[in-house]
Structure formats: structure tokens, C-alpha cells
Amino acid sequence: MVDAAVLTFGRLDVLVNSAERYTDRMAGEEDAERISECIDVNLRAPILATWVFARYLRESAIDGVVVNVTAMAGLLPGRGREVYGAAKAGLIHFTEASKALSPRIRHENERLLPGHRLGAVLLAMSSRQVVASVIRCIEDPRMAGQTLLVNGSSSYSHSWATLLSHIQMVFIVLWGLLIQMDAAAAAAVVVGKDISKGLSVDSYEPKAMTRAEFQLLPRKQQKRIMKQELWDNRADEFKEKQRQKNRDTRRRRKERIREGEAPPRRKPEDQTRTAHRFVIDMDFDDKMDDREIKSMCSQVQRCYAANRQAAHYVGLHVTRLHGQCRRRFDTALAQHAGWSSEHIVLEDKEYPDLFPAEHLVYLTADSPNVIESLDATKVYVIGGIVDKNRYPRLTLDKAEQQGIQHAQLPIGRYVQMSTRKVMTVNQIFEMLLRFIDVNDWKTAFLDVIPARKLENEEEE
């Protein structure tokens, strides 16, 4: 199961055990085969699946989440559901006990309440709400080992179990009313303020769902829904503001170009090719999430644009383009098919298959070596990853395993950084292009590094 999922999607982060084998026979009326089947599906299968998933996480050195969907039968015994309830109770115990088994795996438990209604259908939950509850278990680390009560559609014949479920529903209704009262008070505070600035999720009234449904979602998802609905309501206004902002930016840039303060963005007429070669290593697809994949692909776009506009352009190769990055280039960035092969080459192969090992130099901030200049006979490799310090020594370890040279740029010798020396891929590439133009590291760094990353010091 795990192997098939990894083969299809590249990695596995979440396991949801929701399979169920229901039986309503009384004890003594079920045969041994039905009892075994009920226990196997409801208890044994989730335990084994979790065991296999946990082993995969340990071997892959990544974190994961397990969500077990159980039932109130595991808490409230009912006549005719002895075996089913015992299996569900075992799954609840397994979930709560597994919280401390491994630091790399987080267990959450979702119990389905019986579907008895209290007066009007106030808390009847749809399948969408059940899915939202599972997503909440996945996204919220505070739910580790906890139980989330969700109203389902099953019923109980045992009278005291039914009464207890009704009492639970009363408490949930009262809790929901208190939340609505707090939201109304909060809404009164922000009256008259700008809706895009003063409104919070505590006072927001969603358009696509009820207030009760909205409150069940994780706070992060609530903010996302609120921003999306605000955008839908004021899209034309926002778009017009953005268009005006873009017009002002273009006007200011034209003025700077006219006054000689900024170079034109079009391809220089006297552009020449240098002997320098650079590689963007895209072998880290499995170590980035969707947002980071999007950012990394955009950085490759910027590298191509910078090389195309440079007075002295270089040989730029993007290697090991595969997985999610390849799919993004083939869909959202399909225009890359028209890119000039003189300014960029996209490769499926690894760089050791394209260049001699003795010519390769991996640029990494973790290297103890510092380069003084750029050797036109070398091929400089830039790690194509948005890591945010999650993978220390990742590129250095790769270079050492491959037996190739490694070094870092002399940033610390020429400028003082207010943050870490790790830059985006396009910033590193633009620094290298700028150094080829001016043959001065300090000028190259100051022209590319954002001002916010530089310490404000007086000139000596």
C-alpha cells in the first residue's frame, strides 16, 4: 500500500484509516468468520497500516500524521454491537496510546457521534463537514492524541446510550451559542472599520456555509476562506488597484531608464556568450511542499530572464527536472517550450552525466571553502531547493558523496548581512552574472542582495 502510494505520488505524508466493517448481530449469533472479519477491518488493519506507515516515515526521515476514524460505539456500549464496539474501543485506545510511541508520527482520533436530532436539525453534519474535520486533525498539531466529536448518521437502540448522546448534543449546542454571542460582540467592535483590515475570523460571517460549520474548521482554513470570499466580493476593486500600481511602477522605471539610473530589460543588442557554465540542480523535488515547488519554478524563470537580459550571458543548465517541478513546467509554465536554448537548457539527467566530475564545483553556504574568482573551465552547481533551514548540509553532503569540489561565495568578506547568507537560487545566479560583468564581488553583492538583508553600518 505504502509502496504503491509513494510510486504514484512521490511521497506519503498522511494516513487516514477510515475503512469499516459493521455488524449488528448480538453476541452468540455471529459466527467466527464474521467476528474475525469485523475485528480485522476495524482494528487489526489500522494497526498494521500504521505500523507500515511509521516504518516508512523512519526510513525516509520525514514527519507524518495518522487519523483514525472510529465510532461512538467504542465509548457507549449498545446491544447487538458488542464485537463492533469492542473493535472501535480498541482503535480509540491504540490512537491515544500511540501518541508517545514515535516523535515522527502524530496520531489523531475522530469519533462519529450518533445521528439523533435535538429539536430542529441544528447540528446535522454533511460529508463535507466530516472531511473538514479530518483536515483539521491533519493540520492542527494540538489535536495529537485528542478526540474530535463529529455528528454522523448512525443510531443507537439502547435507551441510556441515546440519552447520553442527547446530553452531549445539548452541550455542543450551548457551546455553539456562546461562540455566536462572542462573535456578535466582536462584530460590534469593528463596525465602521475597513473590512479588509479590521475583520477577524471570530467575527466573520461566511457566505458558503453556516457559522457553526465555519467554527469547526481549523483557524488557518477559516482565514483562507475569509480572504477568498473578501476577494470575490471586491475582486474588481482590488484588480483595479493592482493595475494602477503596475502602471505607476512601469512609469517610474521608464523615468529611471530615461535618466540612465536603470538598465533596459530588453535583450542587449551587443550581448555576447561567455565560456562560463552554471547548473541548477533540481534533485530535491521530494523535499519541498506545493508552495515551495511553485516558488522554485518561479526562481528558475527569473534565472532564464536574467541570463537573457545579461550583457554577457552564460551556459545555464537545469538538471534532474522531474516530479512536481516537471509537471508544473509542463502545465502552468508550458511557455518554457518557447525559451531560447542559448540561454537555458532543461535536462532530465543528473549533472555528473553531462560534465566531467573534475570540472564540477557545488556552491553551498555550508562549505568551508571560499572561491576568489570564477574559473571558466569549471561548472558551478546551485542547489535548486527552498529549504528554510530544514535540511542543513544537504547540498554539501551531496557534493561530498559524489566526490566533487564544493565552495561558497565570499559574501561575508565584502558585506555584512543582517540575516543568514543563504539566498534564493535566482539571487545567487544574478550575483554570478553581475560578477562576470564587473569582476568585483562587492559590487555584485550590493547590486543584487536586497537592502533589507544588509546591516546598516556607517562607511569606514
Q: Which residues are catalytic?
A: 387
In terms of Cα–Cα distance, which of 312, 101, 275, 128 is closest to 208?
A: 128
Could you tell me if 298 and 419 are in contact, meaning their C-beta atoms sit under 8 angstroms apart?
no
Query: 227 vs 207, 266, 460, CA distance in Å?
Result: 12, 37, 48
What would the DSSP string read from start to end of 235-247? HHHHHHHHHHHHH
Question: Which of 389-423 are b and which e, b meaning 16 or more Cβ less than 10 Å from the residue's Cβ?
Answer: eeeeebbbebbeeeebbbbbbebeeebeeeeeebb
Measured over the CA atoms of residue 206, residue 212, residue 215 and residue 221, the dihedral's sign is negative
In degrees, rounded to 5, the angle at the alpha carbon of residue 299 between the alpha carbons of residues 417 and 345 is 125
| DSSP string over 322-356 | -HHHHHHHHTTTGGGGGS-TTT-EE-SS-GGGTS-
Residue whose entry in the numeric block shows the C-alpha cell 467504542 = 74
Look up residue 28 and give its three cell numbers: 452468540
